[in-house]
């Protein structure tokens, strides 16, 4: 089976974010909190259409990368605004940058001085 030609593929964006909290979190805890907030705000069908995914989470820096389709990037920004606690601990989520490739996202994370 041949893959879709580039014109038919959905364009992806990678959102780099940082979690500010006194507690350190694991990737699994962030995934669960992210899933809960997305389902609460845009529902199951919206989550499927956006096809978001927590690609990487660096536990030492508390920085992560979320992959999302280009059309739902702004919708996911709105969802992330409602993320206030992870595992019953208050958090502040800071959006750092949006890129078009995972390679560029990793370069930006390496340059961070957190």
Domain count, the chain: 1
Give domain status of residue 4, yes or no.
no
CATH of the domain at 24: 3.30.70.3250
| 7 falls within a domain | no
- Encode pLDDT of 46-104 as tens digits: 878 888 899 999 999 999 999 999 988 999 999 999 999 999 999 999 999 999 999 99
Do the domain assignments include residue 5? no
**2: in domain:** no
pLDDT digits (tens, 9 = 90+) for 31-49: 999 999 999 998 888 878 8
The domain of 82 spans 12-111
**Looking at residue 8, what DSSP letter applies?**
T
């Amino acid at each position: 089976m041949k893959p879709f030609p580039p014109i038919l593929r959905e364009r992806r964006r990678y959102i780099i974010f940082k979690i500010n909290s006194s507690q350190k979190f694991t990737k699994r805890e962030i995934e669960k909190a992210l899933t809960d907030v997305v389902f609460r705000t845009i529902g199951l069908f919206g989550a499927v259409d956006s096809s978001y995914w927590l690609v990487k989470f660096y536990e030492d820096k508390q920085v992560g990368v979320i992959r999302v389709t280009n059309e739902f990037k702004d919708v996911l920004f709105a969802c992330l605004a409602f993320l206030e606690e992870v595992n019953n601990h208050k958090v502040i989520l800071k959006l750092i940058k949006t890129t078009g490739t995972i390679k560029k996202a990793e370069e930006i994370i390496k340059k961070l001085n957190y």
